[in-house]
Amino acid sequence: MSMDRQDGARFDGRVVIVGASLAGLRAAEALRAQGFKGQLTLIGDEPYPPYDRPPLSKTVLSGWLPVSHTYLPQLQDINAEWLLGVAATGLNLQEHVVELADGRRIPFDRLLITTGTRARPWPDAAQMALDGVFSIRTLDDGQRLREVLATKPERVLVIGAGFTGSEVASVCRELGLNVTVAERSAAPLAGALGGAAGMVAARFQRAHGVDLRCNVTVLALEGDANGHLSRVHLSDGDVLDVKVAVVALGAVRNVEWLLSSGLAVSARGVACDGSCRAFDANGIVLDDIFVAGDVARWPHPLYDGQLLAVEHWGNAVEQAEAAAHNMLCSPAERKPHRPLPTFWSNQFGLNIKAVGLPTVADQVVVTQGSVERKRFVAAYGRKDAWWRPWRSTCRARWASIHR
């Protein structure tokens, strides 16, 4: 086995990727595209080949796209061993082995961790298990919720008005369903885009007929004798008769399998350096363990070197490609992963795009277009630096998709 890192074509060790979704697949493709000829194994706990998640809360729910059309295209033959439907349960750094739930031990020379996130569950497991209570993260989630929405329930309750919750509410209205959205903060999307943009989002949602309840928390989900959701208790004292609820409370990073590995792991993700190499618990960077996608936290020079963790499709792709490059190249050829974060969302007839990180801003100014006409650009800034393009924190663009 040659371990020469000067030339990817001559690195023929064994690469294992844990997390067989967007970042895992794109990294595998990049490894082969860059000449890696060694053994490649992808391990994924879902029973399916990699699929795309963004349509699950949009076109899949509306019925426009069947779930079978969400599988990610393989951009090239990756000649990999696929271990699907089995979770990694541990990582032995000394032996360079990934431990699987079925007892198998998979050795590696280089490891890439792309285990992403899962939907944050409702805090009460018994209430979450009621029939009619859904979350939306996986292909099965998308399929089940789609089937239920197609039965035209009298009302749908969406718990949480972040991007996913707002997209679900939008689809409900598109389908002509009554929808109530309960949001703990003062406005939808406020956590991601701030209060000012949140107020605009609130106006759009109400204009589309959403029964939007802000500054309200859901206290309890109540089931009937058959274990079906029947009522929901809100913090303002209201009780709603509702048979379908969608829990959209954000995501939890899939790091439990690494907790005793000796890597720098926390609920916020797996910490790595700017070249995607993982830190161990002492803050020492490891040359053979890499991290990419939603599960990664890495220092970004644009944001004072703070460790960023983002849940953006584009970042998963770009970081996977950077990790693949850095797994194969010589130390002198390592590339930093420092993209400008970007994301998009489609809801209520709008196409929302953001460049940068609105969450770290302390000012927002509409610089182009008009909120009334639903086409505008907002610039977010921090510490009076919003007007300097190179230090600008974020630009968010809201545009009607019906031009």
Q: Which residue ranges make up the site for ligand FAD (CB under 6 A)?
A: 18-24, 43-46, 53-54, 56-57, 87-88, 114-117, 136-137, 164, 254, 257, 293-294, 311-314, 316, 343-345
Planar angle of CA 200, 203, 207, nearest 5 degrees = 145
Please give the helix or strand (H or E) that residue 59 lies within, else none. helix 59-62
Q: Report the candidate in 279, 252, 281 with the shortest Cα–Cα distance to residue 268.
A: 252
Instruction: Assign 195 to helix, strand or coil.
Output: helix
Bridge partners, 375 (sequence order): 370
Structure token pair of residue 389: 């393009």
Rounded to a whole number of angstroms, the minimum distance from the CB of residue 387 to ligand FAD is 27
The smaller minimum CB distance to ligand FAD, of residues 11 and 348, is found at: 348
Strand-by-strand arrangement of the 307-308 sheet: 265-266, 269-271, 296-299, 307-308
The smaller minimum CB distance to ligand FAD, of residues 133 and 136, is found at: 136
Q: What is the C-alpha separation between 403 and 399, in angstroms, rounded? A: 9
The smaller minimum CB distance to ligand FAD, of residues 156 and 316, is found at: 316
Rounded to a whole number of angstroms, the minimum distance from the CB of residue 322 to ligand FAD is 13
CA distances from 110 to 178, 213, 265, 289, 336 (A): 51, 49, 18, 6, 18
Rounded to a whole number of angstroms, the minimum distance from the CB of residue 364 to ligand FAD is 20
Burial (CB count <10 Å: 0-12, 13-18, 19+), residue 53: buried
The dihedrals phi and psi of 94, each to the nearest 5 degrees, come to -65, -45
Planar angle of CA 71, 118, 20, nearest 5 degrees = 40
The smaller minimum CB distance to ligand FAD, of residues 116 and 356, is found at: 116
Q: What is the C-alpha separation between 304 and 300, in angstroms, rounded? A: 7
Rounded to a whole number of angstroms, the minimum distance from the CB of residue 363 to ligand FAD is 24
Residue whose tokens read 């271990």: 83
Rounded to a whole number of angstroms, the minimum distance from the CB of residue 44 to ligand FAD is 5
Rounded to a whole number of angstroms, the minimum distance from the CB of residue 384 to ligand FAD is 29
The smaller minimum CB distance to ligand FAD, of residues 52 and 222, is found at: 52
Rounded to a whole number of angstroms, the minimum distance from the CB of residue 219 to ligand FAD is 25
The smaller minimum CB distance to ligand FAD, of residues 11 and 313, is found at: 313
CA distances from 360 to 108, 309, 345 (A): 38, 13, 19
The smaller minimum CB distance to ligand FAD, of residues 12 and 256, is found at: 256
The smaller minimum CB distance to ligand FAD, of residues 18 and 216, is found at: 18
Rounded to a whole number of angstroms, the minimum distance from the CB of residue 58 to ligand FAD is 7
Rounded to a whole number of angstroms, the minimum distance from the CB of residue 227 to ligand FAD is 26
Q: What is the C-alpha separation between 390 and 302, in angstroms, rounded? A: 9
Q: Report the candidate in 251, 220, 253, 197 with the shortest Cα–Cα distance to residue 371.
A: 197
